[in-house]
Amino acid sequence: MPEAIVHQIRPGEKVLVLGMNGSGKSVIAQSIAAAWAVGPVLIVDTKGDDPAALIPNCTVLYHADDVVKRLPGRIVYRPSLDEKRRRRPGDPPRLQPLWCRFETVATKLWELSMSDPRPALVVVHELRELCTEQSIGPAFRELITAGRSHGITLVLVTQRPQRVALEARSEAQHVIALTLTDSAAREEAAQLLADPDQPGMVQLIRQRSLPLDHRWWYRGPDFRLSLHAPLAMR
């Protein structure tokens, strides 16, 4: 991903990265995380095996309690199977076990933002694992809706943007879309990428998927839409 765009991302902004598996979305998220030089970095690898989730000088942890203890730092959280499946006493019944575990992490991040002036970066690989269209944990919602004022930058990665919470997919300053073969996903991407000066390009996104060659659409804070050359895959 071009450094010029990576360095356009300001503390507190939200970045949406959309694309099917293998399209290069994790590589883009990794580029942003690796370039984050100041402040804590938390990468949530919900699949637990994405090599593109790793960045230099990071610590890989498998339990939310350990993540909370190690923050601030450069951490990759790869939830264990137990974290994903086992419900603990006191867990809200409407929240899935992993959501409950991440709520403790989100709360810690929020507390740190009150005392640590350094901007934090949170990257979530496959956002659908932490919310749905209808539901999201309250602490995670707070990070998304109010984190900007505390310098918390979010990079939210998903292949099904239409199936995540509205709070998570709306009002992003940066939207990146790679190959999306699902028509509903392209429809949502077209709305998120909308450039009022280029309606024809938005219609093209809606109607036709990019080939799986790692080309990508980008819309920044100026709402100008552009198509970029294929990523250099690592």
So what's the pLDDT on residue 199? 87
Helix axes 183-192, 199-207, angle to 10 degrees: 160
In sequence order, the 6+-apart residues with CB closer than 8 A to the CB of 6 are 31, 32, 35
Tokens of 26: 């994790």
Beta strands in the chain (DSSP E): 14-18, 41-45, 59-61, 74-77, 120-125, 152-158, 174-177, 216-219, 225-228
Q: How many CA atoms lie within 13 A of 97 on its CB side?
A: 12
3-state secondary structure of 217: strand
Nearest Cα neighbor of 46 from 149, 158, 161 is 158
User: Residue 12 — pLDDT band, cuts 50, 70, 90?
Assistant: very high
Q: What percent of the chain has pLDDT over 90?
A: 79
Mean pLDDT of all residues in 179-203? 92
Helix axes 97-115, 138-146, angle to 10 degrees: 40
The whole-angstrom separation of Cα 129 and Cα 126 is 6
pLDDT tens sequence across 95-144: 999 999 999 999 999 999 999 999 999 999 999 999 999 999 999 999 99
Nearest Cα neighbor of 66 from 15, 104, 17, 122 is 104
So what's the pLDDT on residue 1? 58
Tokens of 55: 């960045």
Mean pLDDT of all residues in 73-100? 95
The whole-angstrom separation of Cα 113 and Cα 49 is 29
Q: Bridge-partner residues for 133, per DSSP? A: none
Least confident of 185-189, 209-213, 229-233: 229-233
> How are beta strands 41-45 and 120-125 bridged, if at all?
parallel
